[in-house]
Chain A
Amino acid sequence: MSQIGSFTLLLALALSAYSFLAGVLALARPGPGSERLGETARRAGIATFAVVFLAALILVISAFQDDFSIAYIFHHSNRDLPAPYKFATLWSGQEGSLLFWALLLSAYGLVLRLRHKTDSRLFAHASIIIAAVQVFFLLLVNFAAHPFAVMQGALPADGNGLNPLLQYPEMVIHPPMLYLGYVGFTIPFAFALGALIMRYPGEKWIHITRRWTMVTWGFLTCGVFLGAHWAYSVLGWGGYWGWDPVENASLLPWLTGTAFLHSVMMQEKRGMLKTWNVWLIFSTFMLSIFGTFLTRSGVVSSVHAFAQSSIGTWFISFLAIILAVCVFFYVKNRSHLRSEHKLESLVSRESSFLFNNLLFLVACFTVLWGTLFPVLSEWVQGHKITVGPPFFNRVMIPVALLLLLLTAVGPLLAWRRTSFESLKRNFAWPVTGAVATGVVLIAFGMRPWRDVSYFYSLMTIMLAVLVALTVASEFIRGGRVIARHTGQNMFASMVHLAHRNTRRYGGYIVHLGVVVIMIGFAGAAFNQDKEQEMGFGDKLNIGAYTLVCQSYTQEDKPNYSSEWAIINVFKGGRQIDTLYPEQRFYKASQQTSTMVANRSTMKEDLYLVYEGRNLDTGRPIIKVHLNPLVMWIWAGVWIMIAGTVIALIPNAAAVRVTAPARIQAEPVVTGD
């Protein structure tokens, strides 16, 4: 199997190299045969997908067949590993995940090459750039991190097994989502660079790129939050975001990608920021590669230490090449990106987009700076330092609050200029609602002056209410106009409204999702935890709950042995649930992992961790976290996904006015 796998990888490299070279020749020397040559390049690109898919399939089959002659399978699987995790072996280690990256890139390339008739010349340019990136990843899996490398010496009877932390259902979907996000940014990058190289006339490439970017951004959003949910459910420290370098690496392209999704509207509406947008998407792609370099090179220490190697040199070289190519074509064709920048007022939608981009970029810089500062410190001071949650929380929360404020203000500002009367009219109720929320929260016992975290929490909730009310007012205002035109009820009118401009109203729903997530984050200021030995019948009180240990026991399974406790949960003297916090010992890898028991409601999570046993008494030690509003985070992600999907739906036709009666125009804040 390993020989077939190795051969397919070489074949894939040859095909993608041909796709690149033939594509370049076809575009560089237009002539009678160039069209056919270009077509062969396109088909070679399509064939690359089939061959890389075959290679990935061979690796998965090897995992299912327990073929421990392949070193990768030996290191990341074992005989008793459940089937879904054997499938997940593909992305569980360095070599396999790079092959998976190549597979996803070839799949994106396949879709792009099949849709080449949209604009054959632009798509040909993009196809070449994708082929070049594909060549890099196939060089990696062929010569630097070979997934089909064979074991030396005697054939082992069993494998080392999968890292216990990865033996969780979300690990079957989290990495693919994240990689779909990372890899997906290659497509908008390829279109942007292609359009720059060919001096593409008009803004059509922006429309194409924006759709791809939204899809990619959606995948990356899912990937990031699935990672957070995995950390919350598996790592057992009671939190979902630890500002680990790997987490930060996933946030970097997300931040610049989000900035691009906003600033690109300036180009579409006003023809502004052309250079800025091109460099934003270049930066987003480079940050995806840089994040991969960070997490695999060992430059920064991370809890995700499963994939460190000397592969960093390859990534740094690749980044240098990308940067050189981008700078070269920008300098060569920058006149093509010249745009007429004209603003009429500081209080306008345009200005809000500028500030929006500024805040996203400052957030991105801060995350990058904090992640790399230990390396800088080692260079300058001769010793590493740690830059962890206290630093990031202190510098990022104010930026996030400013962004939330802008999320409330921006959509209600009109393009070009917004009058003071319009501001007053649009913001009166939302601001009143936000202030009233603050007053109510203080009246109900929130004390923002006691701790800065309470202050931030109150501000977050007030701003979240402000955003929610501005979004609601936008829907209501537009819905009223539609209702008056069509005679539909308000809800149907709002659905109709959203369908008429899916991008705008889908975007508002994404904003609502962000609001819900921010409320979830605000709950963290009120987290409580307790740790206690719990023998038979022992009680632990936390918040409104009383936990009583009913029993504790052990169990042996083929893949692992486990210890777990049975904890009855009481509230107001009535039993409401039974939870089973567990600790597993995985036999193949000889590692231990916790299985958190979590009772999640919209109000709070009751989160139980089986920490171990007291060796003196033999009784289990249970750590209990009471984390308010965590479920809001996951609910918010669903809302964001729904908003993204809505934004991807094509617009419906405009409402047909059937009534000839003259309609009194209502002032509607316009924009996207």
Chain B
Amino acid sequence: MKAHNGNVSGASPSQERRAREGTAFSRAVTAVFVRTARLKAVPSRLGNLIGCCRRPIQIAVLLLAVFAFLGAGDEAARFSSLGHKLMCVCSCSQVLLECNHVGCRYSDRMREELAAALDRPDSDDLVLQSFVQKYGPTVLLAPTTTGFNRLAWVMPYLALVLGITTVIFIVRTWRMRPLAVPAGGVAPLSGPEFERFRDQARRDTEL
């Protein structure tokens, strides 16, 4: 039977992190307002132009900042996102947060380690790297975007681009091919050839 230690809620929300993110958000917004205010003081046509558009720029940047920081304070979402990038190492080959392998000796411990890592001020990359160092590269569910592993990501898109280019090239080539016309111009059709064209027309226009 699967043994749990009683803490089954996953990542608990950290007030400290929320406060930190709140500070980062307000810092970013303040910086936008201060810098656009300074631009008005620049004695040039560009400065005047930017000065005239100061309010729209501020609104646009504010909106961007809102979108950029949207959900950033959601610790559970970050836990879920990172937990779905890691694999349980108990050889069940399942996503860490989806491992329900009965008797698994790893998944609970790894989840606790992930929750603890999120309480530190580390970036997502650093958190994932700490798991790679401990459990090896197979713990990551997707190849990294560095070195040889980059090839894994590039090839499907390369295949798509090359394929589309090839198809467009083929279509252009086939379009340029002239129709075979009899030497004496358009000859009246009869017999089996006429039947073949009639059959073709029927197939082309059938409901």
Bound together, the chains give a CA A639 to CA B36 distance in angstroms of: 58
- Find out whether the CB atom of B102 lies under 8 angstroms from the CB atom of A594: yes
Choose one: B9, B143, B170; the contact of A354 (CB below 8 Å): B170
Bound together, the chains give a CA A665 to CA B98 distance in angstroms of: 59
Q: Contacts A358-B163, A373-B152, A388-B141 known; A612 to B71 CB distance under 8 Å?
A: no
- The interface-forming segment of A102-110, A170-178, A256-264, A342-350 is A342-350
Closest partner residue, chain B, to A243 (CB atom): B141
- Find out whether the CB atom of A269 lies under 8 angstroms from the CB atom of B171: no
Range class of the A interface residue count: 35 or more
Bound together, the chains give a CA A501 to CA B205 distance in angstroms of: 12
Choose one: B92, B141, B171; the contact of A303 (CB below 8 Å): B92
Chain B contacts of A388 at CB under 8 A?
87, 95, 141-142
A251 CB to closest chain B CB (Å) equals: 14
- Find out whether the CB atom of A239 lies under 8 angstroms from the CB atom of B175: no
**A220-257 toward B: CB 8 Å interface, digit per residue (1/0)?**
00000000000000011111001010000000000000
Chain A contacts of B141 at CB under 8 A?
386-391
A401 within 8 A of B: no
Chain A contacts of B164 at CB under 8 A?
355, 358
Closest partner residue, chain B, to A478 (CB atom): B207
A493 CB to closest chain B CB (Å) equals: 11
A25 within 8 A of B: no
The interface residues of chain B, by DSSP majority, are classed as mixed
- Find out whether the CB atom of A532 lies under 8 angstroms from the CB atom of B100: no
A623 within 8 A of B: yes
A664 CB to closest chain B CB (Å) equals: 16
Bound together, the chains give a CA A616 to CA B168 distance in angstroms of: 66
B150 CB to closest chain A CB (Å) equals: 12
Choose one: B8, B168, B172; the contact of A621 (CB below 8 Å): B8
- Find out whether the CB atom of B9 lies under 8 angstroms from the CB atom of A399: no
Chain A contacts of B152 at CB under 8 A?
369-370, 373, 377, 387, 391
Chain B contacts of A612 at CB under 8 A?
1-4, 102
Chain A contacts of B170 at CB under 8 A?
354
B43 within 8 A of A: no
A362 within 8 A of B: yes
A614 within 8 A of B: yes
A322-355 CB contacts (< 8 Å) to partner B: 340-346, 351, 354-355
Chain B contacts of A366 at CB under 8 A?
155-156, 159
Bound together, the chains give a CA A373 to CA B140 distance in angstroms of: 14
B163 CB to closest chain A CB (Å) equals: 4
- Find out whether the CB atom of A481 lies under 8 angstroms from the CB atom of B207: yes
Bound together, the chains give a CA A616 to CA B1 distance in angstroms of: 13
- The interface-forming segment of B21-29, B44-52, B54-62, B131-139 is B131-139
Bound together, the chains give a CA A558 to CA B175 distance in angstroms of: 71
**A611-628 toward B: CB 8 Å interface, digit per residue (1/0)?**
111111100010100000
Q: Contacts A377-B148, A621-B2 known; A387 to B142 CB distance under 8 Å?
A: yes
Bound together, the chains give a CA A370 to CA B29 distance in angstroms of: 42
Bound together, the chains give a CA A386 to CA B132 distance in angstroms of: 12
Chain B contacts of A532 at CB under 8 A?
8-9
A150 within 8 A of B: no
B181 within 8 A of A: no
Chain A contacts of B203 at CB under 8 A?
268-269
Chain A contacts of B148 at CB under 8 A?
377, 380-381
Closest partner residue, chain B, to A584 (CB atom): B102
How many chain-B residues does the 8 Å CB contact rule pick out?
61
Q: Contacts A242-B94, A531-B9, A616-B6 known; A362 to B139 CB distance under 8 Å?
A: no
Chain A contacts of B92 at CB under 8 A?
303
- Find out whether the CB atom of B143 lies under 8 angstroms from the CB atom of A670: no
A365 within 8 A of B: yes
Closest partner residue, chain B, to A236 (CB atom): B100
Q: Of A301, A302, A395, which is in contact with the most chain B CB atoms at under 10 Å from its CB?
A: A395
A487 CB to closest chain B CB (Å) equals: 17
A609 CB to closest chain B CB (Å) equals: 6
Chain A contacts of B177 at CB under 8 A?
341-342
A234 CB to closest chain B CB (Å) equals: 11
- Find out whether the CB atom of A395 lies under 8 angstroms from the CB atom of B6: no
- Find out whether the CB atom of A594 lies under 8 angstroms from the CB atom of B204: no
Chain A contacts of B93 at CB under 8 A?
242, 244, 301-303
A501 CB to closest chain B CB (Å) equals: 6
Bound together, the chains give a CA A377 to CA B137 distance in angstroms of: 11
A584 CB to closest chain B CB (Å) equals: 10
A384 within 8 A of B: yes
B160 within 8 A of A: yes
A19 within 8 A of B: no
B197 within 8 A of A: no
A309 within 8 A of B: no
- Find out whether the CB atom of A592 lies under 8 angstroms from the CB atom of B160: no
B118-161 CB contacts (< 8 Å) to partner A: 136-143, 147-149, 152-153, 155-157, 159-160
Choose one: B102, B139, B172, B175; the contact of A583 (CB below 8 Å): B102
Bound together, the chains give a CA A383 to CA B172 distance in angstroms of: 45
B179 within 8 A of A: yes
Bound together, the chains give a CA A399 to CA B100 distance in angstroms of: 31
- Find out whether the CB atom of A613 lies under 8 angstroms from the CB atom of B163: no
Chain B contacts of A395 at CB under 8 A?
153, 156-157
Closest partner residue, chain A, to B94 (CB atom): A237
Bound together, the chains give a CA A41 to CA B71 distance in angstroms of: 70
- Find out whether the CB atom of A239 lies under 8 angstroms from the CB atom of B98: yes
B187-207 CB contacts (< 8 Å) to partner A: 203-207
B20 within 8 A of A: no
B79 CB to closest chain A CB (Å) equals: 12
Query: Please, could you name 25 A-B residue pairs with CB atoms under 8 Å apart, sorted by A?
Result: A235-B100, A237-B95, A237-B100, A301-B93, A303-B92, A303-B94, A341-B177, A343-B171, A346-B168, A346-B171, A358-B164, A362-B163, A377-B152, A383-B138, A385-B143, A386-B141, A394-B142, A450-B71, A497-B207, A592-B102, A594-B100, A612-B4, A613-B2, A615-B1, A670-B205
A-B residue pairs, 4 tightest by C-beta = A612-B2, A388-B141, A237-B98, A390-B142
Q: Which B residues lie at the A interface, using CB under 8 A? A: 1-6, 8-10, 67, 70-71, 84-85, 87, 91-95, 98-100, 102-103, 136-143, 147-149, 152-153, 155-157, 159-160, 163-164, 166-168, 170-172, 174-175, 177, 179-180, 203-207
